Amino acid sequence: MKFKTILTLVAIALTLGAISIWVGQLSYSWLPPQASVESQLIDNLFSFLVTLGTFILLGVAGTVTYSVLFHRAGRYDLSDGPHIEGNVTLEVVWTAIPFLLVLWIAVYSYQTYIEMSIRGPMEMAHMPMASSIAPALAEPIDESVQPMTNIEVEAKQWAWVFRYPEKNITSTELHLPVDRRAHLVMRSPDVIHGFYIPAFRVKQDIIPQQNIDFEFTPIRTGKYRLRDSQYSGTYFAAMQADVVVESMADYEQWLAEARQKSPSPAFNQAASEYAAREQKSAKAGWATIVPASPPIVNYHP
Amino acid sequence: MTQIAPKKLPIEADSHEELLSWRRYFSFSTDHKVIGIQYIVTAFFFYLVAGIFAMIMRGELITPEPDLVDRTVYNALFTMHGTIMLFGWMFPVLAGFANYLVPIMIGARDMAFPRLNAVAFWMVPVFGIMFILSFLVPGGPAQAGWWSYPPVSVQNPTGQWLNGEFIWLLAVTISGVSSIMGAVNIVTTILRMRCPGMSWFKMPVFVWTVLAAQIIQLFGLPALTAGAVMLLCDLSFGTTFFDPSQGGNPVLFQHFFWFYSHPAVYVMILPVFGIFSEVFPVYARKPLFGYKVVAVSSLIITGLSAVVWVHHMFASGTPGWMRMLFMFSTMLISVPTGIKVFAWVGTIWGGKIRLDTPMLFALGGLINFVFSGITGIMLSSVPIDIHVNNTYFVVGHFHYVIYGAIVFGLYGGIYHWFPKMTGKMYYEGLGKLHFWLTFIGTTLNFLPMHPLGLMGMPRRVASYDPEFAFWNVLASIGAFLLGMSTVPFLINMVSSWIAGKKAGDNPWRAIGLEWLLSSPPDVENFEELPIVIAEPYGYGKSEPLTENMG
């Protein structure tokens, strides 16, 4: 290869690299606020993959565009291009480099995963059902981390109910103290639901008749949205709840307040939509599973 | 292949010749070319139906509130959109391409089992019409998504035995049987019916990719079909395979489903890789770069595709070691696919490029595919998947693969072989208009789904929070544009088939057995079986492809 060619290639690679790094930095702004430890880790990994992906996309698209612009056949040119069947060196290179990149991405992803130390149900879903009935709250899985907030989550068609077992409080809004690891035990009586808080970048399916352990650490106060992420039937889209992350003092105060309140029915989007639909004389839709009646809880907004 | 096939196959040659008019397309024909076109046209009808469903959904999603249709209707629409697009459009149209092209590319007079072929085709309108008629049963059609995960799918709110989900499962089972029949036929044809001299490394890449894809059908479809039958038993006959309240395991169904339904994506995209590999050399006037590696990498994809399905279940309660294992196996798929992408870029490089409609669609499909491959790697990474799993990011990725790459490749293939199939030339201007409308529509429709998913909008929702409105409006406009883009295509196909210019046998000056035949080919394809002496894609070399033809 001529020196000039090498110089051109290097210059192109540097330009593409600069653009890719810029897009990779930009990628943080495509995501919701980083409200948990997990979100920082995931966003860094995502930014890395965006950088790499931009480089590859621009490289391929750039080469194709160059060919289309400069290697066009003339209007009356019926000749063939050069008879090149392949190039072993090139083929080895473009097999080896993607393989190494894949290894790199896999190792980085693995490290991120370990750092997140996700407490999914792990072996639970693949073990005989009997073992999963054992009370999961009895022993926190890892005691080396900070003290935990234990909360029971019930997901049903179509409502979220949160129970704070230590204070015996129920709520339709999830309150969490900031900077403390939250430990959830999630249950579903009917179908599979998905526990998903985009600002925390955490998601876990709740398999019916199982206790699903789940952990994460919120680090930013504010109000976020919890959504059902596993399609659960007619009012799936309406199955949302607010998540409030607050300082320890505010959290304690909220617990105390909630404790004063006697349980009353909360507003439930699915139940109220269903009631409205049933009142109409002309039925617009098809038969549906009847939503659970609005949950009766101590606290609801 | 050294085996010499008999001069004339004993397949009711007489009845073939009686049916040479247009009526043969409405008959129980056993001619692979007729069946191929029957498949493609029938599939296109279902494509339009499922496309209308998509446009109604995008109409609903243009505002955050659920105001256009009832939630049950929306859920039925996305279920039937996905189902009909896959089982009514994708698999049949690809079976159509394989049927039409494989025999004439390998120098055979028909498929190995012509009657089985016809039976497999005629099951398509049967299950397709079942899907559509399920809108009329009480309780409406299935509303559990095309995954049909239990327990949602077996809840059956009407309480009647004849319900949408029942028909859905029955139709999916029939579709599975039809595709297995097709796969047996296609694999046998490729293994046993190649003309003299057509050794493995003289086969066009399209044939390689079809073989790789149909092998997946053979090992994967039985799992899905069995899963569908078990779910049907749970729904209608009181079994509890997947019912958690009776000791069943709903996650087991997810394994049955994805064991086939992830490799199914390779069933769809592999033949499109084949189409790319046929189209690029013709319109760049260069041999396919690294032909043998491209051919063999298809089979590597087949092998890897059998061990990646759990990446759909990273949030389903999958143990950590399984998450890591399937993350790595999924990422590995990018190596053989990367080889193909670089080979196509190498083919184009330094060629004599002509931007006819097939080439435009192939180039657009290539760029879209690279994009979807990159988002695919992101999805395979467990930590990222935990965030974007079941969000619009996945919907965007999937539609970039299925529409941006596969449908683009199919359109390219239709334009490329249209002169061969009909003997007529399509209108180039309309073709280019079709391409640009499709490309802009695709980008506008599916690109905004990525930011939506990253922001945390779940898929399958009939309503959403107002923060997602902006990108949803863009996506909806893109969807309507895509709907309109089929108009110039339909006008082009119908009018040029009826009144187009005669195309000649080889309008693209392409190299390949099919281009040595008349357009359209005779009933028996080859009067005398060809004896192949050269590798495919001999552009720039001017050597004969066969000893005895052209």
Domain boundaries along the sequence of chain A: 3-66+90-116, 147-279+288-297
CA distance A181 to A199: 15
Counting one residue from chain A and one from chain B, the pairs whose CB atoms sit within 8 A come to 311
CA distance B143 to B433: 36
Name which of B250, B82, B40, B90 is nearest B168 in CA terms: B82
Task: Report chain B residues whose CB lies below 8 A from the CB of A110.
Answer: 324, 327
Residue A23 has pLDDT above 90, yes or no: yes
User: Which residue in A30, A99, A125 is closest to B335 by CB distance?
Assistant: A99
Q: Which of A58, A78, A99, A203 to mutate to test the interface with B (most CBs of B within 10 A)?
A: A203
Question: Cβ contact (<8 Å) for B139 and A57?
Answer: no
The identity of residue B198, as a single letter, is M
Looking at chain B from residue 417 to 436, which residues have their Cβ under 8 Å from any Cβ of chain A? Answer: none
Whether cis (ω within 30° of 0) applies to the bond prior to B520 is yes
Give the pLDDT confidence of B340-391 residue by residue, as tens digits: 999 999 999 999 999 999 999 999 999 999 999 999 999 999 999 999 999 9
Q: What is the largest CA-CA distance in chain A?
A: 88
CA distance B374 to B368: 10
Work out the minimum CA distance from A184 to partner chain B, whole angstroms.
14
Q: Which residues, in sequence order, are CB contacts of A245 under 8 Å at separation 6+?
A: A35, A176, A177, A178, A218, A220, A221, A222, A223, A224
| Mean pLDDT for the stretch of residues A269-287 | 87
Give the pLDDT confidence of B475-499 residue by residue, as tens digits: 999 999 999 999 999 999 999 999 9
Cβ burial of B258 (10 Å; 0-12, 13-18, 19+) is buried
Residue B3 has pLDDT above 60, yes or no: no
Q: DSSP for B175-225?
A: HHHHHHHHHHHHHHHHHH-PPTT--GGGS-HHHHHHHHHHHHHHHHHHHHH
| Residue B80 tokens, joined | 């039937």
Q: Out of A148-162, A200-214, A279-293, B107-121, pick the least confident.
A: A279-293
| Residue B332 tokens, joined | 């590995």
| Parallel/antiparallel/unpaired status of strands A264-265 and A296-297 | antiparallel
Looking at chain B from residue 510 to 549, which residues have their Cβ under 8 Å from any Cβ of chain A? Answer: 538-542
Give the pLDDT confidence of B166-212 residue by residue, as tens digits: 999 999 999 999 999 999 999 999 999 999 999 999 999 999 999 99
CA distance A10 to A12: 5
CA distance A264 to A300: 8
pLDDT bucket at A140, cuts 50 / 70 / 90: very low
Question: Cβ contact (<8 Å) for A106 and B320?
Answer: no
Task: Report chain B residues whose CB lies below 8 A from the CB of A128.
Answer: none
Q: Can you give the three-state secondary structure of chain A, one letter per residue?
A: CCHHHHHHHHHHHHHHHHHHHHHHHHHHHHCCCCCEHHHHHHHHHHHHHHHHHHHHHHHHHHHHHHHHHHCECCCCCCCCCCCCCCCHHHHHHHHHHHHHHHHHHHHHHHHHHHHHCCCCCHHHHHCCHHHHHCCHHHCCCCCCCCCEEEEEEEEECCEEEEEECCCCEEECCEEEECCCEEEEEEECCCCCEEEEEHHHCEEEEECCCCCEEEEECECCCEEEEEEECCCCCCCHHHCEEEEEEECHHHHHHHHHHHHHCCCEECCCHHHHHHHHHHHCCCCCCCCCCCCCCCCEECECC
pLDDT bucket at A301, cuts 50 / 70 / 90: confident
**At how many degrees (to 10) do helices B263-284 and B250-261 cross?**
20
**Fold of the domain spanning A147-279+288-297:** Immunoglobulin-like (2.60.40)
CA distance readout (Å), B5 to B2, B159, B301, B523: 9, 57, 31, 17
Looking at chain A from residue 190 to 219, which residues have their Cβ under 8 Å from any Cβ of chain B? Answer: 190-192, 194, 196, 198-199, 201-205, 207-210, 212
Give the pLDDT confidence of A160-214 residue by residue, as tens digits: 999 999 889 999 999 999 999 999 999 999 999 999 999 999 999 999 999 998 9
Domain ranges of chain B: 29-516
Give the pLDDT confidence of B161-176 residue by residue, as tens digits: 899 999 999 999 999 9
Question: Cβ contact (<8 Å) for A285 and B145?
Answer: no
In this complex, is the C-beta atom of A78 within 8 Å of any C-beta atom belonging to chain B? Answer: yes
Q: Which of B332, B335, B387 to mutate to test the interface with A (most CBs of A within 10 A)?
A: B387
Length of chain B: 550
pLDDT bucket at B318, cuts 50 / 70 / 90: confident
User: Which residue in B155, B353, B377 is closest to A289 by CB distance?
Assistant: B155
Task: Report chain B residues whose CB lies below 8 A from the CB of A124.
Answer: 317
Question: Cβ contact (<8 Å) for A53 and B345?
Answer: no
Nearest chain A residue (CA) to B460: A231
Please tell me the CATH code under which domain B29-516 is placed.
Answer: 1.20.210.10
In this complex, is the C-beta atom of B160 within 8 Å of any C-beta atom belonging to chain A? Answer: no
Looking at chain B from residue 58 to 87, which residues have their Cβ under 8 Å from any Cβ of chain A? Answer: 66, 69-73, 75-76
pLDDT bucket at A1, cuts 50 / 70 / 90: low
Q: Is the dihedral of CA A142, A146, A152, A157 positive or negative?
A: negative
Question: Cβ contact (<8 Å) for B327 and A102?
Answer: no
Q: Would you give the DSSP letter of residue B4?
A: P
> Under a CB-based contact definition with an 8 Å cutoff, are residues A300 and A161 in contact?
no
* Rounded (5°) CA angle B86-B89-B90: 60
The pLDDT, as a whole number, for residue B321 is: 87
Residue A139 has pLDDT above 50, yes or no: no
Name which of B69, B64, B67 is nearest B465 in CA terms: B64
Spell out the alpha helix ranges (H) of B107-143.
Answer: 114-133
Question: Cβ contact (<8 Å) for A81 and B335?
Answer: no
Contacts 24+ apart (CB under 8 A), B469-474: B469/B63, B469/B64, B472/B61, B472/B62, B472/B64, B472/B448, B473/B62, B474/B444, B474/B448
> Under a CB-based contact definition with an 8 Å cutoff, are residues A226 and A243 in contact?
yes
Question: Cβ contact (<8 Å) for A205 and B539?
Answer: no
| Residue A237 tokens, joined | 């889209």
> Under a CB-based contact definition with an 8 Å cutoff, are residues B363 and A69 in contact?
no
| Mean pLDDT for the stretch of residues B68-85 | 96
| Mean pLDDT for the stretch of residues A269-294 | 89
- For B395-444, list the strands marked E by DSSP: none
Contacts 24+ apart (CB under 8 A), A132-135: A132/A210, A132/A211, A133/A211, A135/A211
Other Cβ atoms closer than 10 A to B116: 16
Work out the minimum CA distance from A118 to partner chain B, whole angstroms.
9
Residue B23 has pLDDT above 90, yes or no: no
The pLDDT, as a whole number, for residue B26 is: 85
Work out the minimum CA distance from A114 to partner chain B, whole angstroms.
9
Q: Which of A48, A55, A60 to mutate to test the interface with B (most CBs of B within 10 A)?
A: A60
The pLDDT, as a whole number, for residue B320 is: 85
Question: Cβ contact (<8 Å) for B339 and A91?
Answer: yes
Q: Which residues of B78-105 are buried (b: 16+ CB within 10 A; e: fewer)?
A: bbbbbbbbbbbbbbbbbbbbbbbbbbbb
At B433, give phi and psi (nearest 5°).
Answer: -60, -45
Task: Report chain A residues whose CB lies below 8 A from the CB of B460.
Answer: 231, 236-237
The separation between the first and the last C-alpha atoms of chain B, rounded to the nearest angstrom, is 21
Question: Cβ contact (<8 Å) for B72 and A83?
Answer: no
In this complex, is the C-beta atom of A10 within 8 Å of any C-beta atom belonging to chain B? Answer: no
CA distance B430 to B357: 9
| Residue B497 tokens, joined | 């088939």
The separation between the first and the last C-alpha atoms of chain A, rounded to the nearest angstrom, is 70
> Under a CB-based contact definition with an 8 Å cutoff, are residues B108 and B194 in contact?
yes
Q: Which of A231, A235, A289, A290 to mutate to test the interface with B (most CBs of B within 10 A)?
A: A231
Nearest chain B residue (CA) to A105: B381
Task: Report chain A residues whose CB lies below 8 A from the CB of B292.
Answer: 86
Q: Is the dihedral of CA B371, B377, B378, B380 positive or negative?
A: positive
> Under a CB-based contact definition with an 8 Å cutoff, are residues A185 and A213 in contact?
yes
Residue B549 has pLDDT above 60, yes or no: yes
Nearest chain B residue (CA) to A123: B319
Nearest chain A residue (CA) to B316: A205
Residue B66 has pLDDT above 70, yes or no: yes
Give the pLDDT confidence of B462-478 residue by residue, as tens digits: 999 999 999 999 999 99
User: Which residue in A83, A209, A227 is closest to B540 by CB distance?
Assistant: A83
Q: Complex ipTM above 0.85?
A: yes
> Under a CB-based contact definition with an 8 Å cutoff, are residues A81 and B285 in contact?
yes
Give the pLDDT confidence of B217-238 residue by residue, as tens digits: 999 999 999 999 999 999 999 9
Q: Cα Rg for chain A, rounded, in angstroms?
A: 27
pLDDT bucket at A132, cuts 50 / 70 / 90: very low
Cβ burial of B492 (10 Å; 0-12, 13-18, 19+) is buried
Higher pLDDT, A217 or A137: A217
Question: Cβ contact (<8 Å) for B383 and A109?
Answer: yes
CA distance B166 to A110: 42
CA distance B491 to B495: 6
Question: Cβ contact (<8 Å) for B317 and A231?
Answer: no
Say which residue the tokens 């080896």 belong to. Answer: A96
The pLDDT, as a whole number, for residue B27 is: 85
